[in-house]
Amino acid sequence: MHELADASGAVIRPYFRVDVSITDKTDPDDAAVYDPVTEADRNGEMAIRNLIRERYPRHAILGEEHGREGEGPELWVLDPIDGTRSFIGGFPTWGTLIAFNDGEAPLLGVMDQPVTGERFVGTPDGAFLAERKLHARGCRDLDAAVLYATTPDMFSPTELPVFEDLAARVQLRRFGGDCYAYCMLAMGLVDLVVESALQPYDIQALVPIVRAAGGVVTTWEGGAPDQGGRIVAAGDPRLHEQVLTRLAGV
Amino acid sequence: MHELADASGAVIRPYFRVDVSITDKTDPDDAAVYDPVTEADRNGEMAIRNLIRERYPRHAILGEEHGREGEGPELWVLDPIDGTRSFIGGFPTWGTLIAFNDGEAPLLGVMDQPVTGERFVGTPDGAFLAERKLHARGCRDLDAAVLYATTPDMFSPTELPVFEDLAARVQLRRFGGDCYAYCMLAMGLVDLVVESALQPYDIQALVPIVRAAGGVVTTWEGGAPDQGGRIVAAGDPRLHEQVLTRLAGV
């Protein structure tokens, strides 16, 4: 996992905050010339795929940019840049997501931030940021919780009022998280992440990190989160249970 | 400016992401014991104040945590942690803001992120991130713009629909910026920041950074931004003019 993250980080890092000030975005010809995000995304994923193919030629791979290859049951699930909009805006709150799924569930997960040098790792032995072992914090009551979602724009018209109702009851709600919010939950700094419209590669790497830190992550219906969709993660299982009740039947 | 930022960074850094997992937030007695954000805020500002008093005893100081002291006209304007909510959540998108106002306008500004090691500096000779000179990018049309605001919750009931109307016309709108968004605008990665309910210490340090990079920052009415309130910053003066028209009369 570390080799894969090292390789993708080396590819992606040079594309971050490149000077596009000479490009007038309102000139459509100019805008078509160079798209650093797409290039970083594609090349980063390819770097990871190449290494997996070399080492584990029988494993399957599912990635955001280049789709699925191979048959499994062992499956690597990749998102080279989770949080492309943060990446575009120059914010460091994006990450490279790498999950290893043994055919049952995501067993190992990495969220790598190659610019700040942070690497969050989830394993059956615990969740870690470098040497620090991560622990989600206790927070039983909704009105004491810090809630994150990437953006209000991710919710459908039927989901948004339910999210807004939840958000009105917490101590603090904030937008702009992407994968970063799940890692902060595993660190005991965020209590809740409630999102929608996620892809499998948006969540699988984060599942082992959240779970190994003592948190819970499921769909809004309480099912396995592996296929993405509508996701709720909580640092405290008691809070998770409460929130599921509020999200039921949407 | 660098000495001040070094001093505050050394004080604030140890409070970031402290392990509060042992604290059950739902126990009110426990929660009262230790508030790392407040401590970091207060002590960070005090470190800056002490250095200013030593070196420039006749200058006035205005800070978020400890108010105003001295008479000016030279005035230092301080926000030890701009983006306390990001700080609380463990996100690196907050900064220490230090402005020097010569009695007319903010002349020098620093946005220092002591965890990632980023320091954005605005001077009459240009805006810089380390050795890189910053340039805002051209973006004439609203529908090509990347728009940031810290949170939709900062707008009043009369302001929110106007912001929402603006946000519906841009290419991408995102929340969660605080001071970071203005620095990304100066870097040519964000085109617009539209906010409300800012304090003088939320904006004065950012004004020289935005202006030296070629951007424009004013109130929604087009006036001097120094006293905060409702603020609009744009990387392209043509875009700024357009947006002012849309915000007029709110």
CA distance B51 to chain A (A): 29
Alpha carbon distances (Å) from A149 to A26, A176, B107: 31, 7, 37
B174 neighbourhood in chain A, CB within 8 Å: 85-86, 89, 151, 175-176
A135 neighbourhood in chain B, CB within 8 Å: 19, 21
B25 neighbourhood in chain A, CB within 8 Å: 137-139, 144, 191
Q: What is the ipTM of this complex?
A: 0.90
B239, B241, B244, B245: CA torsion to nearest 10: -110
Beta bridge partners of A96: A112
Q: Please determine, for residue B237, whether its predicted confidence score (pLDDT) is greater than 90.
A: yes
Number of CB atoms found within 10 A of residue B229's CB? 18
CA distance A29 to chain B (A): 14
Q: From A49, A187, A51, select the one nearest A120 (Cα to Cα).
A: A187
A119, A193, B92, B24: CA torsion to nearest 10: -100
Please report the DSSP string for B159-222 in residue order.
HHHHHHHHHTTSSEEEE--THHHHHHHHTTS--EEEEEEE-HHHHTTHHHHHHHTT-EEEETTS
Q: Please determine, for residue B25, whether its predicted confidence score (pLDDT) is greater than 80.
A: no
Please report the DSSP string for B33-53 in residue order.
H--HHHHHHHHHHHHHHHHHH
Going across the sheet that includes A192-198, the strands are A172-175, A146-149, A192-198, A229-234, A216-219
Number of CB atoms found within 10 A of residue A128's CB? 18
* Tens digits of pLDDT across chain A (250 residues): 999 999 999 999 999 998 654 444 455 555 444 567 888 999 999 999 999 999 999 999 999 988 999 987 999 999 999 999 899 899 999 999 999 999 999 999 999 999 999 999 999 999 999 999 999 999 999 999 999 999 998 999 999 999 999 999 999 999 988 999 999 999 999 999 999 999 999 999 999 999 999 999 999 999 999 999 999 999 999 999 999 999 988 8
Asked whether the beta carbons of residue B141 and residue A17 sit closer than 8 angstroms, the reply is no
CA distance B244 to chain A (A): 19
- Chain B contact for A85, CB < 8 A? yes
Asked whether the beta carbons of residue A90 and residue B184 sit closer than 8 angstroms, the reply is yes
Q: Please determine, for residue B118, whether its predicted confidence score (pLDDT) is greater than 50.
A: yes
pLDDT at B34: 58
B176 neighbourhood in chain A, CB within 8 Å: 91, 93, 174-177
Asked whether the beta carbons of residue B26 and residue A138 sit closer than 8 angstroms, the reply is yes
Residue from the list B25, B88, B89 with its beta carbon closest to the beta carbon of A139 = B25
SS3 for A6?
helix
Asked whether the beta carbons of residue B19 and residue A135 sit closer than 8 angstroms, the reply is yes
**Exposure class string for A80-111: b at 16+ Cβ within 10 A, else e:** bbbbbbbbbbbbbbbbbbbbbbeeeebbbbbb
pLDDT at B148: 96
Residue of A35, A146, A189 to mutate when probing chain B, most B C-beta within 10 A: A189
Q: Give the chain B residue nearest A136 (alpha carbons).
A: B21
Q: Which residues contact A72 (CB under 8 A, 6 or more apart)?
A: A59, A60, A103
Q: From B241, B132, B225, B145, select the one nearest B187 (Cα to Cα).
A: B132
Q: From A232, A198, A233, A200, select the one nearest A215 (Cα to Cα).
A: A233
pLDDT at A20: 54
Alpha carbon distances (Å) from B17 to A122, A141, B45: 18, 22, 19
**Exposure class string for A3-25: b at 16+ Cβ within 10 A, else e:** ebbebbbebbeebbbeebbebbb
What is the rounded distance in angstroms from the CA atom of residue A234 to the CA atom of residue A227? 18
The residue type found at B146 is V
Predicted structure pTM score: 0.92
Instruction: Give CB contacts under 8 A, 24+ apart, made by A220-223.
Output: A220/A244, A220/A247, A220/A248, A220/A250, A221/A248
Q: Which tokens belong to B133?
A: 């000179």
CA distance B200 to chain A (A): 23
What's the angle, vertex CA B88, arms to CA B231 and CA B94, rounded to 5?
Answer: 40
Asked whether the beta carbons of residue A175 and residue B151 sit closer than 8 angstroms, the reply is yes
- Chain B contact for A50, CB < 8 A? no
Per-residue model confidence as pLDDT tens digits over B31-77: 444 567 888 999 999 999 999 999 999 999 999 988 999 987 999 99
What's the angle, vertex CA B104, arms to CA B99 and CA B110, rounded to 5?
Answer: 15
Q: Please determine, for residue B26, whether its predicted confidence score (pLDDT) is greater than 70.
A: no
**Mean pLDDT to the nearest integer, B8-29:** 73
pLDDT at A22: 44
Task: Fill in the DSSP letter of residue A15.
Answer: G
pLDDT at A124: 96
Asked whether the beta carbons of residue A146 and residue B188 sit closer than 8 angstroms, the reply is no
Asked whether the beta carbons of residue B24 and residue A139 sit closer than 8 angstroms, the reply is yes
> Where does residue A203 rank: exposed (0-12), middle (13-18), buried (19+ CB within 10 A)?
buried
What is the rounded distance in angstroms from the CA atom of residue A127 to the CA atom of residue A121? 6
SS3 for A132?
strand
pLDDT at B200: 97
What is the rounded distance in angstroms from the CA atom of residue A181 to the CA atom of residue A151? 12
- Chain A contact for B20, CB < 8 A? yes
The residue type found at A3 is E
SS3 for A116?
coil
Please report the DSSP string for A60-112 in residue order.
EEEETTTEEES--SSEEEEEEEE-HHHHHHT-S--EEEEEEE-SSSEEEEEEE
B151 neighbourhood in chain A, CB within 8 Å: 174-175
Asked whether the beta carbons of residue B19 and residue A175 sit closer than 8 angstroms, the reply is no
Q: Which tokens belong to B49?
A: 């104040």
Number of CB atoms found within 10 A of residue A63's CB? 24
CA distance B182 to chain A (A): 11
Look up tokens 């969220």; give the residue: A111
Element spanning A185, H or E: helix A179-186
